[in-house]
Structure 1
């Protein structure tokens, strides 16, 4: 039986020591295989992972560590159970994601990692040095058995901090980001790349377009401005807004949606209705739903179009 869904809601200062990484996996003629790394410094077998750099988000850390240690350009899949234990500096938490290798060939850096091995989950349990590393593996294997391991993410973001309504006298559609919002948008571009989106569907109002612009400029996704995602349209015709949003729940393209706080109560029921198991418990259910510049990721199984197996929320950059 598939275990309870993992929900991730991460703040940067949630623990004394925070690290992140992933279980890289692939399918072979012999079934599911996972990638173990050997670290010569500790003479142990583990998953690729490492501590956050200053100013880095947890997903960014996971992607960077996987790239640096084994040369894999990761697109983060479903979140896996995190592990927690005491170290000399205090409480340490390590966050993990599933990462499908595809056709990529691991290339250990030779310093932190000198060997890698593709092994079965059973063999991985035998080799893992830290027994707490088995928990995310158990979840990953159960997700594969349930047909929920291979997923496509839908990344939902609320526009970054905007100039206050009370200080804006021109048309609402033209209200721009505040200076802090532009800084949030620049940081958001780095976070969005963790899921490697190829499309953006955004409200055409200025503050939403400006929020995704740094990511669009750097990554060149296909961009679509959707009038149904504006505050006005959602208020006048919420059914149309929901129908347009529901079209994004197709595991074909990795899409970023950018919208407004007042539209969240209209689109969240679509996500909740698509949720499998208890995953909907991870969704926000009270105003403001998402803080400006925050990200909610919905993971859609390739084997079950239109459904969602896991959610995760990441807090925005604040300077």
Structure 2
């Protein structure tokens, strides 16, 4: 998760990070801690109950029709410019709003149009969306538009759990002392991001980068070309973070799991799995085996749907929350204990 957050901090055009995982796995903590590593260091939360006008901003049409200048009231996208836009429980947000946010994250520009009048402004922010898969999934069309995805799991390593608890307890007892102990490491991280952003445009690609990206995306049987572009940008961001002279296939291989996790087609679970081999295996299956597999799948799906229905009975969606200013957060460098 830390690696993925640093990549989008270097190049927000990657399209943001979707962090999926169960409750209590530091999703929100990591998102808040990233903001202070950025030059402007501000953190904007998009609440579930936000209207479209509150997100994109509003235009004063009466003033424009009277011949005056277009009066624009900035929304959350404008406030998040050069900072972090955090969308908690993004899978519960209205699809139309998710679409607008993803458009701005990918282009770096927000365009507001009302009755033939338009206004645009810079909206270059680091997008971080979090979700708990137990509360529902994003539609595939929206899922694909997140640049990177990280899947968190519960930690059952006793040593790591103790390290996590010790860091959190130290922060609760004296947040200023904990932050001071990680101040130098935080400064180094912030400096790495600034230097990486500066060298990003001129970083050359090695000859084997494009073939490696094409191979990995074909093996994953992804839809469209977005995965190729995101993998290219992510590999370049990683190379810049490491002050490399070239973007190499090694950088591509390291970012590929973040790029392909939410885009990989069924049957292409692991790198190197050839879709043609899977198709050949299906062609070798007899009609009887196919009918039996279909029946077993239908029965399993019916059972799962029945269980899901019972588990969701009486479920109430989370209440929308307002914006809040975070005075002090756990430094991102202090979260290294949670990395593995």
TM-score between both structures, scaled by the size of structure 1: 0.25
More helix by share: 2
Which has the larger share of strand? 1
| Larger RCO, structure (CA 8 Å, separation 6 or more) | 2
